[in-house]
Amino acid sequence: MAGDGTTLIRFWGTRGSIPAPIGYRAVRDKIREALLAARGRHLESLESIESFIDEDLPFSVAGGYGGNTSCVELVTGGEEYVLCDLGTGVREFGNRVLAKHGPGKHHRFNVFLSHLHWDHIMGFPFFGPSYIPGNVIRIFGCHPHMMDAFVRQQSHPCFPVDFRSLGATIEFVSLEPGRIYDIDGLTVQSIQQNHPSDSYGFRFSRDGKTVVFSTDCEHKFQVLNRSYPFIDFFREADLLIFDAQYSLADQMSVKEDWGHSSNMIAVELAQLAQVKHLVLYHHEPMLDDRMLEKVLEETRNYAVMTHPARKLTVTSAYDGLEIVI
């Protein structure tokens, strides 16, 4: 999609439901574990330290998954930016745009909104480019009354700057689920998903590459077979970003009908649809970095169990992750 046959997907926010910033105790635990692992090692040079961090420490110690809520950027290579969702991750995205280009250069942003729940729009009041006249923000979605949700969250007494006083030109564009659109050279199709008040997944294609963004969807089926509509929607995607917030047990018991899926359902659907790369997304805020790392390892094991002969790449999204396909 970037014009050279590759597509870059940049994850700005990957957490579900509510931001989950890392606290003092978790940082201290990481430092302690790193220092324990460093005992007896020769780490005199900066290079050896960098190598130790990158190659010898687990990701949960060397880094972490982050705490921003849903926001993903698709780098298309064009002038116009493409985003999925406006969770708190969009704040850092906006800061990066401003740092890179300065406030004087105007941009167009095409945002595809999965739904209107708070964690998917709460970053918008802190999206710097929305304050700058000359910028154009087009918010595409399938929900009626999208604008109302933005006006409500950005009005007295919830926020000091009224939505209607923002400097940028902000347009809301309704999409019809199932219909195929061409938006700035990007082929886009949406699908209705099972979530309280509905959500919508998006399938993006350009230059022979396909990315599916499917968050906040509870997949409920008695038996999974090829007639399940999401199999076609996900079919042969190069990258599938999938809501895997819960364990299967939670999804089917105490959190049934809460509108989210699990890592096992993710793998089974990805295998049936012959997806190439599955990304676990919308992480449960209760899970710390060590648990998310464990879930990733288990998911990779399950991918092998479900289809030993087929290679399904599985990644767990984190704030700052970049994937090139």
Q: Site residues (CB under 8 A) for another protein?
A: 221-225, 247-250, 252-253, 262-265, 268, 298-299, 301-302, 305-306
Which residue lies nearer to another protein by CB, 33 or 298? 298
Which residue lies nearer to another protein by CB, 152 or 220? 220
Q: Using alpha carbons only, what angle is made at residue 123 by residues 258 and 125, rounded to the nearest 5 degrees?
A: 130
**Strands ordered across the beta sheet of 108-112:** 169-174, 136-141, 108-112, 81-84, 71-75, 8-13, 322-324
Shortest gap between Cβ of 246 and another protein (angstroms)?
A: 9
Shortest gap between Cβ of 305 and another protein (angstroms)?
A: 6
Categorise residue 316: left if φ over 0, alpha if ψ from -120 to 50, beta otherwise.
beta
Shortest gap between Cβ of 147 and another protein (angstroms)?
A: 38
Shortest gap between Cβ of 269 and another protein (angstroms)?
A: 10
Of 67, 44, 63, which Cα lies nearest the Cα of 55?
63
Which residue lies nearer to another protein by CB, 212 or 269? 269
Which residue lies nearer to another protein by CB, 130 or 299? 299
Shortest gap between Cβ of 298 and another protein (angstroms)?
A: 4
From residue 212, give the alpha-carbon distance in Å to each of 39, 116, 162, 200, 297.
44, 19, 33, 11, 22
Which residue lies nearer to another protein by CB, 99 or 223? 223
**Strands ordered across the beta sheet of 186-193:** 180-183, 186-193, 199-206, 209-214, 239-243, 277-281, 313-316
How many of the other CB atoms lie within 10 Å of CB of 197? 9
Which residue lies nearer to another protein by CB, 158 or 223? 223
Shortest gap between Cβ of 19 and another protein (angstroms)?
A: 25
CA atoms of 203 and 186, how far apart (whole Å): 10
